Structure 1
Amino acid sequence: MDTWIGLMSGTSMDGIDAILVSFPDNHIQIHATHSISYPDDIRNRLVSLSQNKGSPDEIGELDHRVGGLFATAANQLLEKSSFSADQIQAIGSHGQTIRHQPDGGTPFTLQIGDAALITELTGITTVADFRRRDMAAGGQGAPLVPAFHRAYFSAEGEDRCILNLGGIANLTQLPADRSRAVTGFDTGPANALMDAWCKEQTGLPFDTDGTWASEGDIDQDLLSDLLSEAYFQRPAPKSTGTEKFNLEWIQTSLRRHPEVEAVDVQRTLLELTALTVAKQLPQQPGMTIYVCGGGARNPMLMKALQRTCSPATITSTSAIGLDPQWVEPTAFAWLASRTMNHKTGNLPDVTGARGKRIIGAIYYA
């Protein structure tokens, strides 16, 4: 039985999720899971770097440091399991995105977390740098997880939407009619703005359970201003990141609304996430939305989505067999298996690439 490790750190930049998984007979078999948090100084430096506040030396040092942390996550995962390094076919490492600029004359995307170092410290072949091959073919380079969603979450008889609520929100529409194309794109912010504002105002890295947001009120003028962002009206294919949706983006609008209380800003940002998902959602009668990512653990956000996305049903991916926390790391383990077996991993209908491509760079053990 082939076994794979998936490593994922998303746009929330809070840490690394690691999973050891197999895919027997087109099923998902989880053998072990593990998470580590970034040290505060690393997280703060990553956030700063994502805002273009860093030198080449800073990029190089953090590339090494993050690669070492990814390797630590993989090695600690193996220690929790009954597997050894020589039983793992490959690691799929998404890396840590610090800049994603898919549009314009010179599109690029940059994920750090030295994959050569991961291979060296684990003794396991590592597949990384998944986005750039799709981007070289004219695609957005993201989202890449819809191919995995199609493989494991599609179902005849039910129109499904997989909604990932990480720092950025992205959705995948899985039609019950399999002759129709799978579509997907980034809708905009999920937790990124709420986390940034919470950290700025309270010192806490995130608003646990949406408790602080629940104490505030939606400021309709501020909400209307935020919703006027051109990205929300753009057609797919499209993708974005924290280089756009960040604390500075919030503060630009707040300069026009200086009277809004901090707690009301938090509640308005939560509503922004829910509304931008709902307004861009491909509505299908009887559709079920399966939520994954950190936002699935925010009952306040889930309640807002149930209201704004009605009549669609909102639940989590646990209902279809995979805990919300482990969908994306599992997807990158699966993408590594695709790469190692010379199979394509992107969906041109999602990313806009000129065709299907084998994605990812291989660092052999």
Structure 2
Amino acid sequence: MTRNTASASNVYFGLMSGTSMDGVDGIAVEFFPDKPPVVRGEAFEGFSAGLREALFALQQPGDNEIEREALAANALATRYMVCCHELLRGSGLSAADVRAIGVHGQTVRHRPDKGYTRQINNPALLAEMTQIDVVADFRSRDLAAGGQGAPLVPAFHATIFGVSNETRVVCNLGGISNITILGAQGHVRGFDCGPGNVFLDAWAQRHLGRPFDENGQFAARGQTHRPLLHALLEEPFFAQQPPKSTGRDLFSPAWLDARLASHPGISPEDVQATLTALTAVTVAREIERHAPESRAVYVCGGGARNPVLLKALQTALEESGASGVPVLTTEALGVPPQQVEPMAFAWLAQRCLARAPGNLPSVTGAAGERVLGAIYPR
């Protein structure tokens, strides 16, 4: 089958802009009932400094929030539209070939403890600009059913990675880290572990003037400051039992600065190394607690491109008693790390249109399976 003759009923776009807020990853994927999905194209569209600043500002209460959120949502929809056009161009598809766009939106608040989560977006505008059906707002239905509304990707992980006679862990190192435990008997669990790249990126921006620590080079110049690491690990969230999810509402610059204030004089390089260790240790501890029988850890998300972070995770696993458990990327399972999350939201869009459930109550804590998403026809 050539690219431009793919069936319209099977081709979906998935768009994911995560907690790192650097841009949107897009994928064009064709799903089949009896074989693995086929990627028709992928694209990345970065956010401007102004849009990133507007999104970061919406993380905290401020003046004129309704208008600022609406304008940011319009700007986001425009970036999503550009990403979709790049997917069309790169895949040789037309808008008529695409069944729907699954778009996560940009999380600016996540407070399941208060009964809400907020992913800003303007899916109606995106449908208008692309002339493709849009499926959005995936989290609120799970939340309405008493769940955390996150993480949602474990259901997809179970579908695409779950066939195995041994327990494996899929670890997403995005802005926030989360793991999916795919049990040998088909039981699936998953939850957020804590900060992934959120502090690594923020600290690199503060001290290097760059949006992220490329290849972990900044962290590699420092050493883990053990007293600071221990202080960071005292955060109660890390000891909570799942289901649990988190975001920048908790792991904010103010959270980090409050703890740094008790440990003055640490070099920026040592702070970056310590933050890298924090991400690695919190993930390793959750694997030790909830999946000690796991035989491998497969990493996706932006952190998969950070060899220093991957090495730190391997070390943390060994120190927790999981020696011999390799840290790999999802490339070893046939899906490049950067494709996993956008493909998950394409899959969730497909599930929504089929009126099939997209959540896992064992992960989110919802009262039952629910169809996720709201449909905006073209």
Tell me if both proteins adopt one fold, taking TM over 0.5 as the criterion.
Answer: yes
After the TM superposition, which of the residue ranges 59-68 and 131-140 deviates more from structure 2?
A: 59-68
Task: Provide, for residues 80-135 of structure 1, a one-character-per-residue CA deviation record: whole Å limited to 9, x for no partner.
Answer: 111100111100000111110111xx311111120001100000000000000000
Q: Measure, in 2, the Cα distance between the counterparts of 1:23 and 1:303.
A: 34
Q: Could you tell which deviates more after superposition, 78-87 or 323-332?
A: 78-87
Q: Report whether the alignment pairs 1:82 with 2:73.
A: no
Q: Secondary structure at the match of 1:309?
A: helix
- Residue 277 of structure 2 aligns with which residue? 271
Specify which of 216, 226, 231 is matched with residue 222 of structure 2. Answer: 216
Q: Deviations over 1:50-92 (max 9, x none)?
A: 1334521111110111111111111221011111001111000
Give the unaligned 5+ runs of structure 2: 1-6
In the alignment, the residues of structure 1 paired with residue 233 and residue 61 of structure 2 have an alpha-carbon distance, to the nearest angstrom, of: 25
Give the whole-Å Cα distance in 2 for the aligned partners of 1:271 and 1:53: 33
Q: Which whole-Å CA distance do the structure 2 matches of 1:253 and 1:53 have between them?
A: 24
Query: 1:348 matched to which residue of 2?
Result: 361
* Among 35, 45, 55, the residue aligned to 1:46: 55
Aligned residues between the structures: 361
Inter-partner Cα distance in structure 1 for 2:294 and 2:350: 34
Q: Secondary structure at the match of 1:354?
A: coil
| TM-aligned CA deviation for residue 316 of structure 1 | 0.3
Amino acid at match of 1:137: A
Matched, 1:119 2:132: no
- Say whether 1:326 aligns with 2:326: no
- Which residue does 1:17 correspond to in 2? 25
Between the aligned partners of 2:304 and 2:49, the Cα distance in structure 1 is 24
TM-score, scaled to structure 1 = 0.97
**CA offset at residue 285 of structure 1?**
3.4
Given that residues 146 and 172 in structure 1 are in contact (C-alpha distance below 8 angstroms), is that contact kept between their aligned partners in structure 2?
A: yes
Q: Which position in structure 2 is the counterpart of 1:285?
A: 293
Residue 156 (1) aligns with residue 169 (2):
no
Question: Structure 2 matches for 1:1-365, cutoff 5 A?
Answer: 1=7, 2-24=10-32, 25-53=34-62, 55-103=65-113, 106-178=114-186, 181-281=187-287, 282-285=290-293, 287-310=295-318, 311=323, 312-365=325-378
Question: Partners in 2 of 1:202 and 1:336 — Cα distance?
Answer: 38
The one-letter amino acid paired with 1:46 is L
Equivalent position SS for 1:109:
strand
In structure 2, distance between residues paired with 1:125 and 1:52: 33
State the one-letter code of the partner of 1:277. Answer: V
The one-letter code sitting in structure 1 at the alignment partner of 2:170 is I
Deviation sequence 1:193-228 (CA, Å, 0-9, x none): 111111112211111011011111111111111000
Greater Cα offset, 124-133 or 280-289: 280-289
* 8 Å contact kept, 1:160–1:174: yes
Q: Deviation of residue 325 (structure 1)?
A: 0.3
Q: TM-score, normalised by structure 2?
A: 0.94
Give yes or no for contact 2:169–2:294 (8 Å, CA) kept in 1.
Answer: no
The answer for unaligned runs of 5 or more in structure 1 is none
What amino acid is aligned across from residue 330 of structure 2 in structure 1? T
CA distance in 1, matches of 2:62, 2:300: 31
- Paired residue secondary structure (2:70): helix
Residue 359 of structure 2 aligns to a residue whose secondary structure is coil
Q: Distance in 1 between matches of 2:89 and 2:220?
A: 40
Task: Tell which deviates more after alignment, 203-212 or 49-58.
Answer: 49-58
Aligned-pair distance for 1:286?
5.2
Does the aligned pair in 1 maintain the 2:296–2:326 contact within 8 Å? yes
- Answer whether contact 1:213 1:264 (CA < 8 A) is retained: yes
Do 1:19 and 1:32's aligned partners in 2 also have CA atoms closer than 8 Å?
A: yes
